[in-house]
Amino acid sequence: MADRDEDKRVVITGMGIVCPLGHDVETVWQAILAGQSGMAKTTVFDASTFPTTFGAEVKNYDFTEYVNRPERHRGSSRGAGFAIGAAAQACKQAGIEIETAGPTDGVARERLGMYLGAGESSVNNDVFFAAILAGWDTDKNEMDWDKWAKVAFGGMDPGYELEQEANAPLAHIAMLTGARGPARNCLTACAASTQAVGEAATLIRAGDADVMIAGGAHSMIHPLGVTGFNRLTALSTRNDTPETASRPFSASRDGFILGEGAAILILESLGSARRRGVEILAEVMGYGSSADAFRVTDMHEEGRGAIAAMTAAISDAGITYGDIDYINAHGTGTSENDYIETKAIKGVFKEKAKGIPVSSVKSMLGHLIGAAGAAELITCVLAIRDNIVPPTMNLDDPDPELDLDYVANAPKKTPVNIVMNESFGFGGQNDVVIIKRFS
């Protein structure tokens, strides 16, 4: 990335978020600095008989507050609804007009692209399961599709099947913004939105777009999602104390807390941002991606994939590991992730590892799955803005095997100029983005 002319440099000009701690960036940031928890008893379905009865839900949210033509998004999935609000916020901050046929914001719509890490979302479980129950012939042990159809077609929204598609949020954002440039979506589990941001920056550098709407959206707090993660023994079962259940790097950690939400960033070339006269929030310096090639559900024991992604991002940024001021960890709170991530950081940062602040905001946000990386990247931008490192909450009993500076239980005021954001997904997907203070 030696070429740093204005069309090759990628900057961040807008941010938007909808998550368990709030529905706008500043509210969420202040909640994080205050150490607030987004975890509580599950309400979107009756989880009382599940091994995990709580999660990190988005509460009291209505996407129609962000749009003038809500009928265009009728029947949108929960995840797509989150994406609409987050995208509207990010566009507003970046000076990008929405819901207009003739924008005057200086962004040609054929040069406005989108790259999301968006995942499956359940629209109406009640009708879906009612149709299954109505259609199942217990005598023949098979589905009676005529009975299924009578319930399904009578109760499901016409767009039900389409809203299950991972690219549904992408379609809604395209309608919202008029974006007609590159349109891509990835579903690489917990690394998806970090990959989306990294690849979006790559498209801008390649000259394929001037501006990219990048980030992620996900909602898996439904019976199938919770069942799957419970079967993997990945979720915390600390049902009596959900508010403090997310405990990254703690000796008493017992899994992550399933969350939901959306986070969107506006990326654009420096030349585009300067021509439009918009505020620059940070600069995207480097991106690294790798695969573990190990197991579907486990990280490689030596952290080889994580090390490769971090090393690639540092090289792409044209810096050394000694230049990084803060690491926003993946930090899920599972025994395996926290141990291997710590080992990988030591492998990359060597003698500096114990002196660099490392924290996990999942201790407050929960794990937003596909949206996690972009949501956490937003906190990285704010850490740079305010020269403050957000805390890892609930770290009252540090694991003696984990000996880095995890910024336990309170923010740390310190100069922050360059930040590394890490995301590691099921299937061995590793993605890392490095951003810096713009100058």
Annotated active-site residue in 190, 218, 300, 380: 190
Domain spans of the chain, in order of start: 10-123+159-436, 124-158
Q: CATH for 10-123+159-436, among 1.20.1240.10, 3.40.47.10, 3.40.50.1950, 3.40.50.300? A: 3.40.47.10
| Residue 367 designated active-site | yes
Which helix (DSSP H) or strand (DSSP E) does residue 204 occupy? helix 192-205
Reference 433, options 388, 360, 381, 397; nearest CA is: 381
Reference 28, options 68, 58, 65; nearest CA is: 58
Annotated active-site residue in 23, 73, 367, 380: 367
Give every CB contact of residue 344 below 8 A, 6+ residues apart in sequence.
303, 306, 307, 310
| Cβ 311 vs Cβ 404: under 8 Å | no
| Residue 330 designated active-site | yes
Which amino acid, 225?
G
90 vs 34: CA distance, rounded Å: 24
Annotated active-site residue in 23, 172, 218, 330: 330
| Residue 190 designated active-site | yes
Reference 194, options 370, 385, 398, 438; nearest CA is: 370
The structure's pTM equals: 0.94
For every one of its 439 residues, what pLDDT tens digit does the chain have, with 9 covering 90 and above? 334 588 899 999 999 999 999 999 999 999 999 999 999 999 999 999 999 999 999 999 999 999 999 998 987 888 999 999 999 999 999 999 999 989 999 999 999 999 999 986 665 567 777 888 999 999 999 999 998 888 877 766 665 555 667 788 999 999 999 999 999 999 999 999 999 999 999 999 999 999 999 999 999 999 989 999 999 999 999 999 999 999 999 999 999 999 999 999 999 999 999 999 999 999 999 999 999 988 877 788 889 999 999 999 999 999 999 999 999 999 999 999 999 999 999 999 999 999 999 999 999 999 999 999 999 999 999 999 999 999 999 999 999 999 999 999 999 999 999 999 999 988 889 999 999 999 9
406 vs 390: CA distance, rounded Å: 10
